Structure 1
Amino acid sequence: MTTRHLVVISAGLRQPSSTRLLADRLAAATQDSLPGLDVRHVELREIGHDLVNAMVTGFPAAGLREVTDAVAAADGLVAVTPTLNGSYSGLFKSFFDVLDEGTLAGVPVLIGATGGTARHSLVLEHALRPLFTYLRGVVVSTSVYAATEDWGTESGLPARIERAAGELAAQLRLREPRVVVDALDDVTPFAQLLAP
């Protein structure tokens, strides 16, 4: 059986974070639906300085490069952000701004967001889904928003998590494992370039 790789991006700004909690629950539910799934969690606040430096200089530090390489090799992605000013956080957007073009092309993506009130749940459809569509990711149909009142109650949150995770697992099953090709692996030797 081929191992599939899932990267879970969490843009929570505090510790503990409801954003990270939602990301963890989405990842666990996806693992339950697809046994043997290899999951890597990334908290963007831990690489925030590297993100700013990469945006200013154009060169990612080693820690950030390791994370972007993991995303480039991932078979699927879970991306969760807190809702700030009716949209995703700047930290969240900055990470996706530093990815190389085409990194998410054809990659199944499960999107999620957290916020203080359910009134902001449209952030998923008006901000996150268009972002990942632009990046050419394959966004699963069900997205998950968790408001403050969803935690610790019998809201519909667990059912939404299960449904979204099942959709992501189904997308992962349909696709061949991702193979990353390094452009530098197929370089014409210098001697051949200079040959008459």
Structure 2
Amino acid sequence: MKLAVVTAGLSVPSSTRLLADRLAAATVAAAGDAVEVSVVELRDVALDVTKNLLTGFPSPELRAAIETVTGADALVVVTPVFTAGYSGLFKSFFDVLDADSLVGKPVLLGATGGTERHSLVIDYQLRPLFAYLKADPVATGVYAASSDWGSNEGGLQRRIEKAGAELAALAAGRVAAPVEPDFIPFDQLLASTGE
């Protein structure tokens, strides 16, 4: 399985990247088989995203990032929250993707912010965005506030593990070999009855 991790953190180190790495690790642990993980740091292609919005032509670096995301079997996407919403860089990256490039793709949604008050960003902004893109988000989204990284980390880790298990299960169903139905053509059915 190919897992692409898209993180829109701006600082180094970044709590957004930390959450993305932990969600990817939980997905790999739950998958139980070979998982190839690729990380797309949007900070590294920020200027390329802007130039693509203005010109319609991606740079080689942005093209590689887009191919990583669209070629993956599943995605982990994590954005920081600014002014009660996902980051502009995060939204702009998904704006440059082809409208049908994520159809049916399993996605684990994550976000980070300074306060718990922004935790609804997953359900009120990220889910509608990925519904529009016709992706298939897992039921559990993970929001991590600053306080989650301290003494209350047990609750955050449980949410991470649950979401990772959901993504692994959904992706396994998507990449599993198709099962051929027990189908007998009608003319063969008629032949067996002697008619």
Report the TM-score, using the length of structure 2 for normalisation: 0.88
Q: What's the counterpart of residue 82 of structure 1?
A: 80
Q: Quick one: which of 43, 48, 69 aligns to 2:67?
A: 69
> d(CA) in 1 for partners of 2:37 and 2:20?
11
Q: What's the counterpart of residue 11 of structure 2?
A: 14
Gap regions ≥5 residues in structure 1: 179-196
CA displacement, residues 65-112 of structure 1 (integer Å, 9 cap, x when unaligned): 011111111100000000011110000000000001211000000000
Q: Secondary structure at the match of 1:175?
A: helix
Could you list the runs of 4 or more consecutive aligned residues of structure 1 that deviate by over 3 angstroms after TM superposition? Answer: none
Q: What's the counterpart of residue 170 of structure 1?
A: 169
Amino acid at match of 1:95: F
Q: What's the counterpart of residue 141 of structure 1?
A: 139
1:113 equivalent in alignment to 2:111: yes
Q: What's the counterpart of residue 185 of structure 2?
A: none
Give the total of aligned pairs: 175
Q: What's the counterpart of residue 187 of structure 1?
A: none
Q: Secondary structure at the match of 2:86?
A: coil
Amino acid at match of 1:10: T
Q: What's the counterpart of residue 189 of structure 1?
A: none
Q: What's the counterpart of residue 26 of structure 2?
A: 29
Q: Secondary structure at the match of 1:64?
A: helix
Q: Secondary structure at the match of 1:42?
A: strand
> d(CA) in 1 for partners of 2:170 and 2:58?
30
Q: Quick one: which of 37, 47, 50 aligns to 1:49?
A: 47
Q: Secondary structure at the match of 2:175?
A: coil
Q: Secondary structure at the match of 1:39?
A: strand
Structure 1 residue 176: Cα displacement: 2.5
> d(CA) in 1 for partners of 2:122 and 2:162?
16
> d(CA) in 1 for partners of 2:129 and 2:147?
27
Structure 1 residue 154: Cα displacement: 3.1
Q: Taking every aligned residue pair, what percent have the same amino acid on both sides?
A: 55
> d(CA) in 2 for partners of 1:158 and 1:176?
27
Report the TM-score, using the length of structure 1 for normalisation: 0.87
The answer on whether the counterparts of 1:75 and 1:177 sit within 8 Å (CA) in structure 2 is no
Structure 1 residue 152: Cα displacement: 2.8
Structure label with greater radius of gyration: 2
The answer on whether the counterparts of 1:48 and 1:91 sit within 8 Å (CA) in structure 2 is yes
Amino acid at match of 1:166: A
